[in-house]
Structure 1
Amino acid sequence: MSTLEIRDLQVSVKLPEGELKPILAGVDLTVKSGETHAIMGPNGSGKSTLAYSIAGHPKYEITGGSVTLDGVDVLELSVDERARAGLFLAMQYPVEVPGVSVANFLRTAKTAIDGEAPKLRTWAGELRGAMEKLQMDPSFAQRNVNEGFSGGEKKRHEIMQLELIKPKMAILDETDSGLDIDALRIVSEGVNRVRATGETGFLLITHYTRILRYIQPDFVHVFVGGKIVEEGGPELAEQLEAEGYEKFLAKA
C-alpha cells in the first residue's frame, strides 16, 4: 500500500517580468493505492498546476506545504528521482521527441525506473501485448515518440507507458481532451486494467464527466481558485455536470 500525501501545498508561477503569481492556495489531498480521485474545476483553477508541481516542472515554485510519497519528501527529489520513486504523469499535451523511437524510449524508461533492463525475450512480448490492447499498429514501436501522432495516438501512448511502467501513483492530466468516443473508450479501458491490480493510486484531472462514465472515481474533488472547495463521491460529478461550478466559486 502506497500513500501520496499533499498538505497545504502552495505554488506560484514566475511571470516573464520576474514576479511570482500565486496559483495554488493550500491544497490538502491524500491518495492511496487502489483509489481513484477525480479533480474537477473550471479553466484556470490550477488543476494542471497541481499535476506539474507534483511532477517537478521547473516553471512552478513551491512556496509552502509538502508532498510526500510513502513518507519520502517528493519536493526534495529531482524529476527523474520522482519517477523512480513511483510517480507518473500523463500529460495533457504530450511532447514530440524526434530521433527517439517508441520502443527505445519505453525500454529506457523501464530500465531507469526498475534499476535493471527488462529481459529482451519477455520485453518484446510485453510491448507487443500492450500495443494490441490499446489498438496501436505494431509499426508505432519504430516511429519517433509522438512525432506525427494524432491526439488519440499520443494519449494511447501515454497509457501504454502507464501499463508497462506500473507506477505507485499516476496523475492523468486531462487525458480525455482531444479524444473521440472510440479513443476515449480504449484509453479508459487501459486505465481500468491498471486500476484492477489495486497497486496504483490515480489522480484524474478533468473538466467533464464523460471520462468518469468509463473510469468511475472513488472520490470527486471540486477545484476552484487554487484549492479544493468541495469533496464527495461519484454523485458530485453528476451534480457538476448538471449545475456547473457557479455555486462553488464563492468558496474560493
Structure 2
Amino acid sequence: MSVLKIEDLQVSVETEQGTKQILRGVDLTIGQGETHAIMGPNGSGKSTLAYAIAGHPKYHVEGGSVTLDGEEMLDLSVDERARAGLFLAMQYPVEIPGVSNANFLRTAKTAIDGAAPPIRSWLKEVDAAMSGLRMDKSFRERNVNEGFSGGEKKRNEILQLELLKPKFAVLDETDSGLDVDALKIVSEGVNRAKEATGMGVLLITHYNRILRYVKPDFVHVFVAGKVAEQGGPELAVRLENEGYDRFLEGSTVG
C-alpha cells in the first residue's frame, strides 16, 4: 500500500521584503485510496504545500521531509517526482503555445512510463477520457490550454490526471472558477481516476461544494502555515457554516 508522508515540512519564499516563512512544520500522512481535503483562509500556506511537494523552484524547503513509499521526494527533480507517482493539478494552468494537447499528453505518458504507448490503444484511451469530461475531440489538436476558458483548463488538468495515472494527486483549488455543471464533470473525472487506480488525493479548496462530489476521508484546517485542526467530512460543513474566525484569533496568517 503506497503512502505519501509529509513530516515537519518548513518552507519559505523570497519576497520583495526578504525571505518569508510560509510553512511552519506540516505533518500529513496520505494512504493509497484516501482523499484528504485541506481548507483554510487565504495566505495560510495551502498552495505553498502543493508547490513544495511538486518541486517548484520558487519555494525553498528549510526543513522536514516528503516521502513516497519511503523514498525522499525532496531530493528529486520535478520530472523524477512525476515518475515516482506524484501529480499536481495547478490552480492556474499555464498555456503552452505551439504544443498540441495530443503531443503533450503522449510525451508526458512516455516520459513517466519509460515507453511510448501504442498509438491505437492510446487514442482510444484519450478519446474515452475526453468523452467522460465532455471535451470535444478537437481539443486533441489545440495547443495546450491556449484560448481555453477557465473551466476548459481545469478539465484539461483532470484529463492529464486520468491518463497519467499517478499514485498521488495534489489538486490545487481545481474547483475555483467552475460553474455547477463543470464542477460535477471535473469531480466525476477525479472519482473515475481514483476508482481506476486507487490513487490518494490531496484536495486543496476554500469551499465545501466540491467535497459534496469528491468525498473526503479527512479534512485538515490550515492556519498560519500549520495544521490547526483535523477531522472528518463534518469539519468541512462546520467551516462552511462558521468560517475561520475561531482559528484566526491570536494567530498570524503567513
With normalisation by structure 2, the TM-score equals 0.97
Letter in 2 for 1:233: G
Q: Give, in whole Å, the separation in 2 of the partners of 1:251 and 1:197.
A: 44
The CA deviation at 1:184 is 0.3
Q: Does 1:201 align with 2:200?
A: yes
Report SS of the residue matched to 2:196: coil
Counterpart in the other structure of 1:103: 102
> Aligned runs of 1:8-19 on 2, under 5 Å?
8-16=8-16, 19=18
Give 1:196 shift: 1.7
How has the CA–CA distance of structure 1 residues 210 and 80 changed in structure 2, closer, same or farther, with 3 Å as cutoff? Answer: same
Separation in 2 of the partners of 1:38 and 1:51? 12
Mapped partners of 2:155, 2:179: distance in 1: 12
The aligned residue for residue 146 of structure 1 is 145
Question: What's the counterpart of residue 6 of structure 1?
Answer: 6
Matched ranges for 1:1-252 at <5 A = 1-16=1-16, 19-197=18-196, 199-250=198-249, 252=251
Provide the rounded CA distance (Å) in 2 between the counterparts of 1:84 and 1:251: 42
**Is the 2:165–2:197 Cα contact (8 Å) retained in structure 1?**
no
What runs of 5+ residues in structure 1 fail to find an aligned partner? none
Q: CA deviation at 1:95?
A: 0.1
Distance 1:89 1:96 in 2: 16
Structure 2 residues not aligned, in runs of 5+? none
Cα-Cα RMSD: 1.0
Q: CA deviation at 1:16?
A: 3.4
User: How many Å apart are 1:250 and its aligned residue?
Assistant: 3.7
Cα displacement string for residues 102-144 of structure 1 (whole angstroms, at most 9, x for unaligned residues): 0000000000000000011100100111110000010000000
CA contact (8 A) 1:229 1:251 kept: no
- C-alpha separation in 2, matches of 1:28 and 1:12: 16
CA change 1:10–1:110 in 2 (3 A) is: same
Listed one character per residue, the Cα deviations across residues 198-251 of structure 1 (whole Å, up to 9, x for unaligned) are 520000000000100111100000000001010000000000001001111247
TM-score, normalisation: structure 1: 0.98
Flag as ranges the 4+ runs of structure 1 deviating above 6 A.
Answer: none
Distance 1:114 1:251, change over 3 A: farther
Q: Is the 8 A contact 1:10 1:23 kept in 2?
A: yes
SS at match of 1:34: coil
Percentage of identical aligned residues: 73
Any conservation in 1 of the 2:171–2:201 contact (CA below 8 Å)?
yes
Inter-CA distance 228–251: structure 2 relative to 1 (3 Å threshold): farther
Contact residue 33 and residue 198 of structure 1 kept, 8 A: no
Task: Write the letter of the residue equivalent to 2:248.
Answer: L
Deviations 1:134-184 (A, max 9, x none): 000100000000000000000000000000000000000000001011100
Task: Report the number of matched residues.
Answer: 251
